[in-house]
Every structure is written in structure tokens, then in C-alpha cells.
Amino acid sequence: MHKKYKRVFSINNDLGFRNYTVRDIINLKGKRKLTQVRVTTTEEASAAEEAGIDLILTGPGPNLPAIRKAAAKTFMTVGVPFIQNPSKREATKKAFDIIEAGADSLMCQNWNLDWMKHLNKFRIPFQSHVGFIPRRTTWIGGIRSFGKTASEAMELYKDVKDIENTGAWGIEVELVPQNILAIITQETSLITISIGSGNAADAQFLFAEDILGQSEIKFPRHAKKYKNFDKLLNNLQKDRVNAFKEFKLDVKKKIFPTNKHSISIDKKELSNFKNFLHKNNSTI
Amino acid sequence: MLKKYKKIYSLAHQAGYRNYTVRDLLELKGKKKLTQINVVSANEAAAAEIAGIDLLITGADNLKAIREAAPNTFLTCGIKYTEHESKESIAKKCFELVELGVDSIHTNSWNINFIKYISEFNIPLQGHVGFVPMMSTWTGGVKPVGKTSREAIKIFKDIKELEKIGCWAVEVECVPKDVLAEMTQQTKMLTVSIGSGIKGDVQFLFAEDILGYHHSSTVTPRHAKSYCNFNKIYNNMQKERIDAFQKFQLDVETNKFPSIRHSIIAKKEEVNKFKKLLVNLKNGNK
């Protein structure tokens, strides 16, 4: 990887290096396919940066500063949960906290449109989400694709335009027909980020856990597994059990600890100590 | 594993199963060698329980997940002294941990009066003598303690003080093995040896050392034994992660992913209708 990073000021005014500014990403629309990976651990984050993944998405949990540090030079978007932040003001405050942790962009999933417009007044880059949105599935009738009919596609188009008008730079488009997203990608200035919506988007998005094959739920149809981490992790757990069993057996058989693992004492010091104990016992 | 667990009430009055009560442990002194492992993750805890490790010890941070992962193993939890400035504060923390299902509390380097206070609630306590990392400035740094008769006598007095308070066990760290041999005979408490030789009632190691995975230090301590090389395995896994992400990146760059198999297709007539609606919308807007 001979990736060039550019010098940047982050939106919390830290001097550093990044693969892209938000302007670079916007300028790449139609010119270059980008990748986005959602990570939950520092290992995934640093592996994504080393692999040259273009964009990283992660959550606002206590792990965020460590994840930022592990992938210090990759454009990183962080989710801002609306449910714990029930007002424009609180959502903004949370957004600022996340920016202080080094985020380059926010993910305003399910956000009130007004709040997004408000956030844009601060010129904070953010992306949003349309199509199948897990928390909003009750409105579309459950877990299914969205936009297979012309009227649903129109609904989707209007959602995209609404979000475009808030000043967002990108939009995750989930479980939408490929031929519909192809049209929408041309009709919007937003960077469209496809997950399960085909290859005609500006960016392709997957979860690290799916790429690695360590999904907690059933493997999604739209994802591609490049490794079998489920198996690796199971083996690791077997190794743990075996190691602990061996330790237990060593203790039982008195194989561990040996003198090599122990500390010795000068004979004279030991007999002084024993004398003390002897006196001590006889005084009781 | 044909391990028998016994029905018990936890300190928080929850009915459950455990491998030992504290009384069982006290009665095993001199009869059976026990093992204790310090775990930091649910995976380590679950593996230890399956392996039949006798005692687990952990910190307060991840306690809930660890208790759930090893619900039937006698579990001790440590409390940092710097987080509690009063005995009331430390009691409150103990009660919280008890509610989460711990069987015993590790007192580490607490104020001795705090230890006395908590023992008044009959919460089983495990103390710590010899080399105590946080207090090692008093013993001259990272080195064995008790190599002179004077130091050994000091440790003996520390042990007797904890015994008097009513602790059930004492971790004895980096003390000469012959000194521990004497101590083990001189106290009713279970002695828990780490780096103090074979004569403890309990042999104690950190899971990370057993697994050969160092997240808190860079080398395996001299007194520990590694049964696996998890550092190497983790490094290989990281290489696998990088490889997977690189393949994904290349697949996207070369338009190999996603394929039709990964995509949803709308019917042509619906797509055409959508295109017309868009044209109408734009004309209407003009």
C-alpha cells in the first residue's frame, strides 16, 4: 500500500493526516468507487486502514477514542443516536462530543430533518440513511427491500432529496433495487452508499463482521464473506479451554510451579524465620 | 466434565449453583490443591469454567458478563482502593458487586480498617501480601519480598492480621517458596501462590499469561507458564482481517462486488414508471 495521506485540520481543529477531506469525497462522485466498512473494534479499524478502505463507520461507544487512534488517517463517520438525545440541543451536544473524539463526519440515522439542517449550520459533515432502516421497519412492513414499485421508488427519491436539502454529503441506501439506486445516484449530488442495493452506487458499504464471517445473526444475503472468523474464534476458545485444563492438571500433578518459577531464600534467613515462628507459637 | 455443582444461595440471596462455598474451600485446606485464574473477558471466564478451574478472580469493569459466562464457579472480584475514599463508599461498591453475583471480594491494598469494616458484613474476603504491585514502592520495586527473615516476619504479621479480621484467603505474591511453605502451615486461611512456589493451597495465574497473550505487560513473568501463543494467533488473525478488507476493496474497485446475486432488481415496467414520474416531477417543478 503506497497510500498518500494529506495534511488536514480535523473539525475539532487537530492537525493530522487523512486519506480524504469531505470535499475530496464529494469531488470523487462518478469518478471513483469508494468503500466503507463498519468497525466495532480497534483491530478491525487498524486492519481497515492498513487495507486501504476509504471510509470507516463506527458507533459512539466508549471505544471510540481507541478506534479513532487505531485508524487515525481514515475518514471516519460516527453514529449519533437520536433516541438518547431527545432535543436538537442535546443531539448537537452529543455531536460535539463525538467531534472532540476525532470524528470527520456524523451518521444521522433516523434523525429529525430539522436537526440535520441545524447541524449543517455548524458546517459539520454528516451522512444519513434511506431505504430499509432497521429502526423504521414498522413503516415499511418489516424486514424487506424497499423501492421495488414505482411509487415506493418515488418515496425513496423524495427522502433522498429531503436529505440532500439538509446539507448532508452522503446517504446510506439499504436494500433498494440496483436499477433504482442507479437512477437515484445520477439524480442526487449526495454520495450514495450501497448496502444490499447493488453496484451502481458511489460507495460500497459492508459490516466488518460480515466481511470476516463472524456475524452474530444469520449471514445477510447481500454481504460477502471473505474469511471464516466464526471458526477461528471457536478454535481460539477451544485453545483457551485446553490451556486452562493443562494448567489445572499441572497443578494437580505438582508439575507447576517448579523451582524455575519460584524464589529461593538463604538458608540462614530461613532458619531465623523458623526460629521466630517457633518462639511465636510457644508464646501463644 | 462430570463436575458436580451444588445448590447454593449467593451473598445476594440468589439461588444458583456453584462448585464451592467458602466453607468448602476452608475445609479443603491441606487436602486438595486448587487453581485460581484472573480473567478479563467472558470468553476466558467461560473457558475456565469448562476446564474445571476452581476459582476465578476478575475486576469490577466487566463483571456482569463474566459472571454470566461462568455462573457456577466461585468468583472473587477486586476493588481498587483509589476509587473509594471511605469505608461507606467501599461498602456500597461491595454491595453492588454482591448483587452482581460475586462470591468473594479481593481487598488488594485497602486500608486495613476498611477490610475490618467489610468483614463485619460477613462478605468473604481475600487479602494480598508479599509483593503487592501498587505498594511496591515500600518493598523496593519489582522484586521478590521475604528473602530476609525480617521481611518474612513482616509478611507473617500481615497474614496474621488478615486472618484475625476473618479473611478466607490471602494472595501471596513473589515470596520465597520455603517461606510460603511455613506460612501455609501457620495460617487457617488458604494461601494463594503467585510466583511463591508450590506450597500454596491455591495456585494462581493470569489467563493472559497462560494463553501467552500480553495486554498489560510485554513479557511473560518469570513465575508464569504459557500453554499457548495467543500473541502469534492474534497477529495472524489481524493479517487475515487486513487481507479480507483488501479483497473487499479490490472487489469494489474492479466491480466484482456486489454481483446480481447480492442485489435486488426492480421490474422493468416499475423502473420505467419511476423514470416517468421523475420527469413529471421535474417538469412540475419548473
SS3 letters across A146-191: CCCCHHHHHHHHHHHHHHHHHCCCEEEEECCCHHHHHHHHHHCCCE
For residue B217 the three cell numbers come to 505487560
The three cell numbers of residue A35 are 468503500
**% pLDDT > 90, chain B:** 92
Burial A220-243 (b: 16+ CB within 10 A, else e): bebbbbbbebbebeeebeebbbeb
Q: pLDDT by residue (tens digit) across B42-74? A: 999 999 999 999 999 999 999 999 999 999 999
Residue A1: what pLDDT?
A: 42
Angle A8-A9-A12 from CA coordinates, rounded to 5°: 145
**Mean pLDDT, residues B243-261:** 94
Q: Residues of B with CB below 8 A from A153's CB? A: 266, 270-271, 274, 277
A-chain CB neighbours of B225 within 8 Å are 247, 250, 256-257, 261
How large is the average pLDDT for residues A195-220?
91
The catalytic site residues of A sit at: 174
Examine residue A22 and state whether it is found in any structural domain, yes or no: yes
Residues A119 and A145 in one domain: yes
- Look at residue A86 and tell me if it is in a domain: yes
Residues A161 and A266 in one domain: no
Of the candidates A228, A244, A259, which is a domain's last residue?
A: A228
Banded model confidence at residue A91, pLDDT cuts 50, 70, 90: very high
Residue A113 lies in a domain: yes
Residue A37: closest CA among A73, A68, A76: A76
Does the beta-carbon distance from B245 to A46 stay under 8 Å? no
Which A positions 155-184 lie with beta carbon below 8 A of chain B?
157, 175-180, 183
Domains of chain B: 6-228 (3.20.20.60), 234-285 (no CATH)
* Residue-wise pLDDT tens digits, B99-123: 999 999 999 899 999 999 999 999 9
For residue B13, the distance in angstroms to the closest alpha carbon of chain A comes to 30
Let me know whether A197 and A258 are in one domain: no
DSSP string, A46-73: HHHHHHT-SEEEE--STTHHHHHHHTTT
Please name every residue paired with A8 in a beta bridge, in sequence order, or none if there are none: A16
HSE-up of residue A30 (Cα within 13 Å, Cβ side): 9
Domain finish residue from A228, A249, A274: A228
What is the torsion angle, in degrees rounded to the nearest 10, for the CA atoms of residue B169, residue B175, residue B178 and residue B182?
-30
The reply to whether A218 and A245 lie within a common domain is: no
Q: Residue A41's domain is classified under what CATH number?
A: 3.20.20.60
DSSP-assigned letter for residue B82: G
CA–CA separation, A144 and A174 (whole Å): 10
A269 in the same domain as A255: yes
With an 8 Å Cβ cutoff, are A232 and B50 in contact?
no
Domain presence at residue A197: yes
Average confidence (pLDDT) over A247-267: 94
Judge if A15 and A144 occupy the same domain: yes
- Give the best residue of A152, A181, A202, A261 to mutate against chain B (max B CB count within 10 A): A261
Separation between Cα atoms, residue A190 and residue A127, nearest integer Å: 9
Contacts of B45 in chain A (CB under 8 A): none
* Residue that finishes a domain, picked among A194, A209, A228: A228
Whether A246 contacts chain B with CB within 8 A = yes
Residues of A in contact with B177 (CB under 8 A): 259, 262-265
Asked if the model's pLDDT at residue B218 lies above 90, the reply is no
d(CA A223, CA A268) in angstroms, rounded, equals: 71
Stretch A82-89: mean pLDDT, rounded?
A: 88
DSSP string, B96-150: HHHHTT-SEEE-TT--HHHHHHHHTTT--EEEEEES-GGGTTTTTSSS-S--SHH
Domain of A264, in residue numbers: 233-283
Provide the 3-class DSSP secondary structure of residue A215.
coil
Q: Is residue A1 part of a domain?
A: no
Same domain, A108 and A36: yes
* C-alpha count within 13 angstroms, C-beta hemisphere, residue A109: 21
A241 and A126 in a common domain: no
The number of distinct structural domains making up chain A is 2
3-class SS of residue A141: coil
Is this prediction's pTM over 0.90?
Answer: no
* CB < 8 Å to B228, chain A: 239-240, 242-243
**Residue whose cell numbers read 414499485:** A149
Q: What is the DSSP letter of B200?
A: S
Say whether both A115 and A14 belong to one domain: yes
How far is C-alpha B122 from the chain's CA centre? 23
| Mean pLDDT on A62-86 | 94
pLDDT single digits (tens) A115-173 = 999 999 999 999 999 999 988 889 999 999 999 999 999 999 999 999 999 999 999 99
Same domain, A144 and A193: yes
User: Same domain for A41 and A110?
Assistant: yes
Do A58 and A142 share a domain, yes or no? yes
Interface membership of A199 toward B (CB under 8 Å): yes
Q: Is B262 within 8 Å of A221 when comparing Cβ atoms?
A: yes
Quick one: residue B116, left, alpha or beta (phi over 0 = left, psi -120 to 50 = alpha)? alpha
- For residue A7 the three cell numbers come to 495534511
pLDDT in the model for residue A2: 45
Q: Is A259 on the interface with B (CB under 8 A)?
A: yes
Using one digit for the tens of pLDDT, what is the confidence trace for A6-43?
999 999 999 999 999 999 999 999 999 999 999 999 99
